[in-house]
Amino acid sequence: MPAITVGVAEVEERLRQLRRRVNSRTALHVGSIGLSVVLLVAAGLLVLALRGSPLLFRTAVWSALLLVVVTVSIGVMVTRRRWLNLTAAASLADRHGNLTQRLVTLMDLRQRPRPSRFGPVLVAQILALGASWDPRRIAPRRVPRTVLLPLAALLVLATTALLEQRAPAAAPPAATAHSAAGAAQAGAQQPWPQGTDQTPATGQDAAAAGQNVPGERRTGTTRGAAAPDGTGTQSSAAAARDGQTQDPPRNRPAPQGDGGQETRLAALPDRLQNTLRQALQGDGANDRRGPSTRPETAQQGDRGAQGTASAPAAAGRTAGQTDPRNATPPASDAARREPTTSSDPGRSKGRPQRRDGEPDAPQQSSTGGTPSKGAGRGSSPGGLLGTADPDALAGAGTKPQPFTLTITSFLHATDAPAPLPKRGRAEKGPVAGAGGTPGDDNDPTDGADTTLADDALRRAAIPPAYAGIVRRVYLPTEAP
């Protein structure tokens, strides 16, 4: 059929042009919708990552993946259904150009082996009606409106940059003693969060904060960190003991950084180093365990890491390395606030409570801006050794030497305006600082018992033969 070859070629070229236009528009349409979905999903994930809980974010990620897969599948199906070949383009042109199936017939005639006498007539008629099926008229190269969807989705995605990130759920876990100490220092450098519900304004914490000040008190950093099991119970009990014992202030600078602490650890005897490392690792493990085992605390953000009863050791460590000027606000906050809702018994067991629910004496001292005398430093192994000199500490570790343990708790009791709880009085009241709630099962006389039981010890000089016993008492994490 050479007579119509030229005409057929021209018709085919116009059909190809129409096909390109329609297919590109289809691709743009489907691609725009798909891209919009992806952008919106990304925006939603960003919002959830910034504000949502991990569980919600995890669920949203999988849902988003499913949505994207479904969208892509639908897009592929729609594209395949709308994708035009030459015959489909001919049918489309027939409909839009009122060609009464001429183009479809021509496409079929093109494939027939035997030419028809009417072939040239058909091509001539199609070309004569060419204006009615102009590809530019049937499929004008207009950008589909759906391209606005990606722009809108991009705008939504950009607005997520204005969102502030919600504070992390918990302090980063410390894997080793080095990282624990580093985390403590990082905590010391951060300003105390405002509006905390639970503040470490206990006697031990306040004392630890005060001990961190050079020239005033010996550091109490390891007091909280040395909790043997990482729970707040023992550390709180130790804090209560420390809060009732007062040592004369010893000028000892707080360790700065991991290097300084490591140097000090290296100066200690091996046995003591191991004990400290185990204690620090146990504390780190407690920190790592805290957010996962206490989800309600983890959701409180970084406030719970320092102020909740779930991590009293970490709170003590962090507060101990915090400048008292920074440590004051939480204490005052704690004094102003209602008792916390935590029901951790270990938190409040070791702390004497006042009948009126006010914080006990050490906390009031810390509230006043000066470290509490009753906060004590006996929990510090360095303090127990009676000197801050590493050499002396090393010597004390190798050979038992007599030392004097000055108990300041008695003096503190006279200094502190709050009276000690009387034995046998089962007082119910809010736990000072944190960890207790009104009406919980904490026995407020435990602290008084401890105080009274320690009176004789405070007044006695520790002979060398009992040095080990005293160390075990004041070093709960030391390996038996």
Partner 1 sequence: MIPETPQRAIRTFQETVQRLRDQLHGVVVGQADVLEQILVAFFAGGHVLIEGVPGTGKTLIVRTLGEVLNLSFNRIQFTIDLMPADITGTRMVNEVGGRREFEFVPGPLFAHVVLADEINRATPKTQSALLEAMAEMQVTVAGTTYRLAPPFFVLATLNPIEMEGTYPLPEAQLDRFLFKVVLRYPSQADLQQIIGSTTGASQPTTEPVFARDEAPARIEALRALVREVLVAPPLEAYAAALIRATMPPDSKFAPSGPAMLPPDDHVAKYVSFGSSPRGGQALLLGAKVCALLDGRVNVTYDDIDRVARPALLHRLILNFAAVADGVEPASIIERILHAARPLRR
Residues that bind partner 1 (CB under 8 A): 91, 95, 100-102, 104-105, 107-109, 116-122, 124-125
Nearest CB to partner 1, comparing residues 108 and 338: 108
Question: What is the largest distance, in Å, between two alpha-carbon atoms of the chain?
Answer: 128
CB of residue 5 vs partner 1: minimum separation in angstroms?
17
Structure tokens at 122: 């058909």
Nearest CB to partner 1, comparing residues 104 and 314: 104
> How far from each other are the two terminal CA atoms of the chain, in whole angstroms?
106
Structure tokens at 477: 């994490």
Nearest CB to partner 1, comparing residues 98 and 251: 98
CB of residue 111 vs partner 1: minimum separation in angstroms?
10
Nearest CB to partner 1, comparing residues 119 and 193: 119
Q: How far apart are CA 365 and CA 375, in angstroms?
A: 9
CB of residue 113 vs partner 1: minimum separation in angstroms?
14
CB of residue 123 vs partner 1: minimum separation in angstroms?
10
**Burial readout 61-75 (b: 16 or more C-beta within 10 A, e: otherwise):** eeebeebeeebeeeb
Nearest CB to partner 1, comparing residues 124 and 461: 124
Q: Is the dihedral of CA 274, 276, 279, 284 positive or negative?
A: negative
Nearest CB to partner 1, comparing residues 68 and 129: 129
CB of residue 40 vs partner 1: minimum separation in angstroms?
35
Q: How far apart are CA 47 and CA 292, in angstroms?
A: 23
CB of residue 98 vs partner 1: minimum separation in angstroms?
10
Q: How far apart are CA 68 and CA 36, in angstroms?
A: 10
DSSP 441: S
CB of residue 136 vs partner 1: minimum separation in angstroms?
23
CB of residue 61 vs partner 1: minimum separation in angstroms?
43
Backbone phi, psi, residue 15, to 5°: -65, -40
Q: What is the 3-state secondary structure (H, E, C) of 13-59?
A: HHHHHHHHHHHHHHHHHHHHHHHHHHHHHHHHHHHHHHHCCHHHHHH
CB of residue 126 vs partner 1: minimum separation in angstroms?
10
CB of residue 119 vs partner 1: minimum separation in angstroms?
8
Nearest CB to partner 1, comparing residues 121 and 167: 121
Distances (CA, A) of 356 to 327, 331, 353: 24, 17, 8
CB 306 within 8 A of CB 331: no
Nearest CB to partner 1, comparing residues 25 and 102: 102
CB 217 within 8 A of CB 211: yes
Nearest CB to partner 1, comparing residues 46 and 86: 86
CB 354 within 8 A of CB 344: no
CB 260 within 8 A of CB 460: no
Distances (CA, A) of 295 to 1, 19, 21, 61, 182: 82, 59, 57, 21, 24
DSSP 356: T
Nearest CB to partner 1, comparing residues 126 and 227: 126
